Amino acid sequence: MWAQNWKSIMDLVMPFPTSPALDVTSELLRQGYTPLRMFQVGEEFFTKMGLKPLPPEFWRSSVLTRPRRPAQCSASAWDFCNRIDYRIKQCTEVTTQDLVSTHHELAHIQYYLQYADQPQLFRDGANPAFHEALANAATLSVYNMPHLYRLGLYNNKSVTEQPLQLPLSLPHHSASSLSIQMSPKSDDHVNVDDFFNFKRQGSRAEV
């Protein structure tokens, strides 16, 4: 029931399909990035905007790499509802995809941090689509050529001088749009979930 992405139709709608993909995995590896460094870069992304640094409990208790025991590795962010303990579970690998995912999950943590002083009822998003939309706004700000150039991960300096390069920029923006969970498709699946839950609980909501 999750409308996580529309990547399955990417081959049908991708503009300039022969253009190279925006993938900085090899550069991440060449520069010696580790999962920890990826999270540190992610934290800096948010603190430079004036948002809160991650608390010590985050670094002490989060699972940022694959543990030796069997584990379900889908990335997720958690608020332990005590105003100090926030964690991410992500079996991070040094790849472009996980760099983007790291920023996505950290955006969820930032949401929790910003609302930590609110009553418990108001600490979460209005619905899952709202929370995801905020996290994906951060994702779009990270997965673009000028930002990756500023990080020293993308070496084509011309992207900062000539922002409109359609064959180069459109494919990765299209891939981003199809790969992230965002309105309206998120709103649709959230509405279906809500109606299902109301019906299951004996509500009179019409499906």
pLDDT in tens, 122-151: 888 877 778 888 888 888 889 888 899 999
Judge whether 132 is annotated as a binding position: yes
**What tens digit of pLDDT does each residue of 176-191 get?**
666 654 444 455 555 6
* Chain-centre distance for alpha carbon 64: 15
The answer, yes or no, to whether residue 170 has pLDDT greater than 80, is: no
**What tens digit of pLDDT does each residue of 87-111 get?**
999 999 999 999 999 999 999 999 9
> What are the residue numbers of the active site?
105
Distances (CA, A) of 18 to 15, 106, 129, 170, 174: 9, 33, 33, 12, 14
Confidence of residue 202 (pLDDT cuts 50, 70, 90): low
Judge whether 189 is annotated as a binding position: no
Judge whether 173 is annotated as a binding position: no
Query: What residues are paired with 63 via a beta bridge?
Result: 89
Query: Are 15 and 171 a contacting pair, CB within 8 Å?
Result: yes
Rounded to two decimals, the pTM is 0.79
